[in-house]
Structure 1
């Protein structure tokens, strides 16, 4: 019988119909981790009476053993919260499946939902949605759809309490954005807190880009904090994000005075006008350095300084025109 058992293969398929992890997973991260630890221990001890393989969408089969799975921290500030992932044997830095509720799920299935209520931007609330955010950020953005140096295994995970919205479209998570809340700590080991809400990280999957989704997420952020006079976008802003800002601010001129590129915690001498830099880029001024400084702690007036490579300086009073 033992010889027969050794020949039995248990296959985990890369796709399956019906419900998906985000729809069925309880809000029990400790229970999730305990189940994963027990499964990993059984693999390491060779206690399972069959050979398990996972079938990738390409048709390739990955043998499930202790050398092909590993634990990854879901949050950068909660090392105890880990999830078990299966790595590609041809690229051991890339996860291809996640162990959830006693089964292996392909990363694409982890990003799917059968709940029609999940459509558009949905705030992350449940543990299942935290796993979706982890896969989008660490696996998809951090590895599959972003070029990294060879020594970087995964993109930095978000905080356990990160304010995040996932963008759902036609039953799948296709993007996300995260927010640093006003009053939240700027980081570990510091007592400084953000002085304004900050649009921190944003991602749209490759095949869904150039469809206005980045603009939609920026607009959602601005509408969420309608009562705040100033809103930040984390420094440094990428060229692609500046294009998103340009399209958004051209369509929403009333927002031009509210958006600032900020370094934490976002004091006035750490803010730079997004709209001003968009204008400078369009003017193609070479090697521009620019900043916005508050001229007095008692006055709301500002000085905007623009300096190009020839040390030409222009100073204007007031905010950039709306």
Structure 2
């Protein structure tokens, strides 16, 4: 079984366990345990090889413990969860065969998987950050395939408060971020997530995709709208809170060539770094 399959508490329990473990480790003798990597090399489990990683952007007190190689301090090799150290890839696995396709994120441990996908896999902590930490109440869905969480998307409900603004609410549902692991891209997963988002709101006349769109997200939207003509007047690139003056019809802008010079950026919806119309 893997962390997501084990009983776990909320973020306060996670933080408490992390602090307690680190405190006990610092008080133990110099002899250390070792974490064995898939390559059969090993990393000493000592306080100097452990860092604290913030789980949520608005809860700095909620932390995870991460293990690093002494010669690669920016690369996370394991996380401490459910009383044990787990390799990063194992954190994303499940032994529950019923986990398949898109599932709503409901508990803290599933939000840990969101953090692993958005911050740790396919990159080091020193690399450019494409995603900020999610809020503990963020609306998200994880994408599971063959016992592994390989991607996610997050979205805003119509009427939910805009971030960094206490007086404005979203005027329409908005697809915020999409991510697919590099080894699982070009399989159509991005299209499936966009389809799922649209299917959730069948009675809405207008749906938003967070601005600015990356080159790859434009490609996904183009392929999706070529297959689903009924959504051409529905999908809009929007800026919060999504009033009419903050909306741009995606299909119209594709036809006018207004995305031809688009560039990927940290604030873009991110699904694939290769330009073109390849499936994810």
TM-score range, shorter chain: 0.7 to 0.9
Distance across 1 between alignment mates of 2:174 and 2:127? 25
> 22-31 or 171-180: which moved more?
22-31
Please report the RMSD computed on the Cα atoms of aligned residues, expressed in angstroms. Answer: 2.2
Distance across 2 between alignment mates of 1:104 and 1:70? 13
Indicate if the aligned counterparts of 1:164 and 1:176 stay in contact, CA closer than 8 A.
Answer: yes
Residue equivalent to 1:256: 232
Q: TM-score, normalised by structure 2?
A: 0.87
Residue equivalent to 2:255: 279
Where do residues 137-156 of structure 1 align in structure 2 (5 Å cutoff)?
137-140=118-121, 143-144=123-124, 148-149=127-128, 155-156=131-132
1:183, distance to aligned residue in structure 2 (A): 1.3
Where do residues 168-207 of structure 1 align in structure 2 (5 Å cutoff)?
168-207=144-183
Indicate if the aligned counterparts of 1:181 and 1:196 stay in contact, CA closer than 8 A.
Answer: yes
1:66, distance to aligned residue in structure 2 (A): 1.4
Residue equivalent to 1:60: 41
Decide which of 16, 21, 24 is 1:42's aligned counterpart: 24
Distance across 1 between alignment mates of 2:36 and 2:213? 39
1:50, distance to aligned residue in structure 2 (A): 4.0
Residue equivalent to 2:203: 227
Decide which of 85, 88, 108 is 2:66's aligned counterpart: 85
Residue equivalent to 1:241: 217
Indicate if the aligned counterparts of 1:23 and 1:128 stay in contact, CA closer than 8 A.
Answer: no
Partner SS, residue 21 of structure 2:
helix
Is 1:51–2:32 an aligned residue pair? yes
Partner SS, residue 67 of structure 1:
helix
Residue equivalent to 1:27: 9
Partner SS, residue 166 of structure 2:
coil
Residue equivalent to 1:9: none
Distance across 2 between alignment mates of 1:26 and 1:41? 21
Per-residue displacement from partner, 1:192-214 (whole Å, max 9, x unpaired)? Answer: 11111110010011111111110
1:59, distance to aligned residue in structure 2 (A): 2.5
Residue equivalent to 1:132: 113
> 161-170 or 60-69: which moved more?
60-69
Rate the CA distance shift 1:42–1:283 in 2: closer, same or farther, 3 A: closer
Which of structures 1 and 2 has the bigger CA Rg? Answer: 1
Unaligned runs of 5+ in 1: 1-18, 288-322
Distance across 2 between alignment mates of 1:182 and 1:90? 47
1:283, distance to aligned residue in structure 2 (A): 10
1:155, distance to aligned residue in structure 2 (A): 4.2
Residue equivalent to 1:102: 83
Distance across 1 between alignment mates of 2:108 and 2:230? 37
Per-residue displacement from partner, 1:156-195 (whole Å, max 9, x unpaired)? Answer: 2111100000000000001000001111111134321111
